[in-house]
Every structure is written in structure tokens, then in C-alpha cells.
Amino acid sequence: MKKFGERVPQSFFLVVALSAFSILALITVFIFIEGVPIIAKVGFFNFVFGMKWAPSQGYYGIFPMIVGSLSVTLGAVIIGVPVAICCSIFLAEFAPVKLRNLIRPAIQLLGGIPSVVYGFWGLIFIVPAIRNYLGGPGLSILAGSIILAIMILPTVISIAEVSMLALPPLLKEGAFALGATHWQTIRSVLLPSARSGILAGIILGVGRAVGETMAVIMVLGNAVALPTSILDPARTLTTNIGIEMGYASGEHQQALFATGIVLLVIIMILNAGAQYAVRRK
């Protein structure tokens, strides 16, 4: 029994939705159309597992970049996640409400700061410290991991904190009634219950770390070779695109789009993982 007055807004929204879809589809299609031919030409395994990236000589192997992205992200998670969980426990369970209301906006602010500022800060403080105390040029996977850890802290902290605050108070009260201490309650009851939310937050943080470009260009050193230690300079999938896209043409450009495809696939896997983690509750 749809009145005519209903059809107009519905068609309007349909048009809007279709426009949005076509734009987003355009991007996806564009990336694939540009990227797939070079993967086909070079061969999937040669592209993804090839060790040599030298476009001027026709080598398009992105494995060093994959290793770079993976190690930097892994490092960020190893450094950042425990710290973030500690902070969120502190905020959710121990901080007085006034302090929490002061700190939360500060963390929100930190999450919005441009990555170039973090990269610059890292260049001034972290890189020289690594160079002077640990050796190597300082521009390294370690520097990248530390900076990325700092950058994903706001994301993980806020989501983990929200997850913990969203737990039914009954859980905590029940544990106290059984005689558990505060810390025991946190460890055995609250953390496991908030696990799926915390995991989703971590995956979101990982997504941000994988996608980061500018800060990483500034502190990672961008060497094309496969890194052999965390003190070695390296290049990630994103920085590879960022450095070379201004002047790449022909096959080189297609290879950058192909790198974009790889990134898209990685994000989709992460998203699927996040949805699975949330659903497992």
C-alpha cells in the first residue's frame, strides 16, 4: 500500500545509494584493472614472494615489503597492546571518575594527531636513541615499531576501555562476593569476558598500523633490501607506494596498484577476523 509520497523519497535514496556504490565500485574496479595485469605478467608467486624490487630493471618482487609491513606491525602489537591493555584496565577499574574524564579526551586528541607529527617526533627522539645505544643507522624496524605502537595506543586503549566498562556489573560483584581480590577479578573474570571487544580493538589498531605511511617513511629508512634484523632499515607495502607513486609509469605504476590489491586483501582478512572475534562472544 505504498502511497506515491513514499515512492519519491525511496527513489531519491536509491539514486543516492547507487551513486555512492558506483563511486566505491569504481575505485575497487580501477585498482584491480590496473593491478591484475602486472600480477598476471610477472606471476603471482614471483610478485608476492619475489625478493627483488627494482622497477627500472623489471623486477617486481614485493616480499621484502611484506616482511617490512609484517615485522613493523608485529613489533607495534608486541610493544603497544600490553601497554594499551594496562592503560585501559587502569582507566576502567582504578582511575577516579574525574581523572578518567580528563584522560579520555587527551587520548582522543592523541588519536587525531597527524602521523607526520609522530614521525617527526620519532625522528628527533627515537631514531638517535636507537642509533646511539643499540647501533645501526637508527632508521629501523625497531623505530617504526615504537612509533606505530604509540600511534595505535589511543585506538586500542579506548576500545578496550569501552569493552571493559560495558561488562555487566554483576560479573564483578559476583566475583567479589566469592571472595576474589580486585586484581584476581580483573585477571580471571573481566579480561576474559571483554576478550572479544579487546580483540576487535587490537585488530582495528593493526589495521591502522598496516595502513600508516608518512610516519613510517620518516623513520624506517626505506631500504629496498630484505631486512635481517630489527635494527635494519626496511620498506613497507604502504611506503613503497608512497615513495614511488609520483613518478611511476607503465608497468611500474601497475605494480603499485597491485601492491594496493595486496593491501586490500590484507584489510579484508583483518576485517573478517574482527567480525569473527566479535561474533564468538
Partner 1 sequence: MKRIMRLKFKNIISIVCVFTLLLSVLLSSACRPKNSESIILAGSTSVQPFAEILAEQFMALHPEINIDVQGGGSAAGILAANSSTADIGMSSRALNTDESKTLIAVEIARDGLAVIVHPSNPIVNLTLAQVSAIYSGEITSWDALGDAMKKKIHVVTREDGSGTRSAFESLVMGKVAIMPQAIVQDSNGAVRQLVADDPAAIGFISLGLVDLTVKAIELDGIQATREHVIDGSYRLTRPFLFLTRTQPEGTAKLFIDFTLSTEGRRILNNEGLITMGDVPQK
Partner 2 sequence: MVIWSAATLVIVLLLSIIFYILSKGLPTITWQFLTEIPSDMGRSGGILSSIVGTLLVTAVAIVIATPLGVGTAFYLTEYTHESNITKIIRFSAESLAGIPSIVYGLFGFIFFVIYLHLGWSVLSGGLTMGVMILPTIIRTTEEAVRAVPPMYREVSFSLGGTKWQTMLKVLIPSALPGISTGVILGIGRCVAETAAVILTAGSALRMPTSLFSPTRTMAVHFYILAREGISMERAYGTAALLIILILVINIVANILVNRFVAKGR
Question: Cα separation of 1 and 180, whole Å?
Answer: 60
Which CB sits closer to partner 1, 215 or 217? 217
Q: Which amino acid is at 242?
A: G
221 part of the interface to partner 1, by CB under 8 A: yes
Question: What distance in Å separates the CA atoms of residue 225 and residue 238, rounded to the nearest whole number?
Answer: 16
Measured from the Cβ of residue 46, the count of other Cβ atoms closer than 10 Å reads 17
- What string marks each residue from 100 to 139 as x (binds partner 1 by CB under 8 A) or -? ---------------------------xx--x-----xxx
Task: Answer with the entry of partner 1, partner 2, none that 232 interacts with (C-beta below 5 to 8 A by kind).
Answer: partner 1
The residue within the footprint of partner 1, chosen from 61, 208, 232, 261 (CB under 8 A), is 232
Q: Which stretch binds partner 1 (CB under 8 A): 85-93, 97-105, 184-192, 239-247?
A: 239-247
Contacts to partner 2 from residues 168-197, by CB under 8 A: none
Cβ-Cβ contacts under 8 Å for 21 (sequence gap 6 or more)? none
Helix axes 195-211, 63-89, angle to 10 degrees: 140
Q: Is 161 a binder of partner 1 (CB under 8 A)?
A: no
- Judged by CB under 8 A, the stretch of 41-49, 116-124, 191-199, 222-230 that binds partner 2 is 116-124
161 binds partner 2 (CB under 8 A): no
Task: List phi, psi (to 5°) of 135.
Answer: 95, 175
Minimum CB separation of residue 148 from partner 1 in Å reads 19
Half-sphere exposure of 145 (CA within 13 A, CB side): 23
DSSP string spanning 139-200? -SHHHHHHHHHHHHHHHHHHHHHHHHHTS-HHHHHHHHHTT--HHHHIIIIIHHHTHHHHHH
Give me the residues that bind partner 2 (CB under 8 A), please: 3, 5-6, 9-10, 12-14, 16-17, 19-21, 23-24, 27-28, 30-31, 34, 83, 86-87, 89-91, 94, 103, 105-110, 112-118, 120-121, 150, 153-154, 207, 210-214, 218, 238, 241-242, 245-246, 253, 256-257, 260, 263-264, 267-268, 270-272, 275
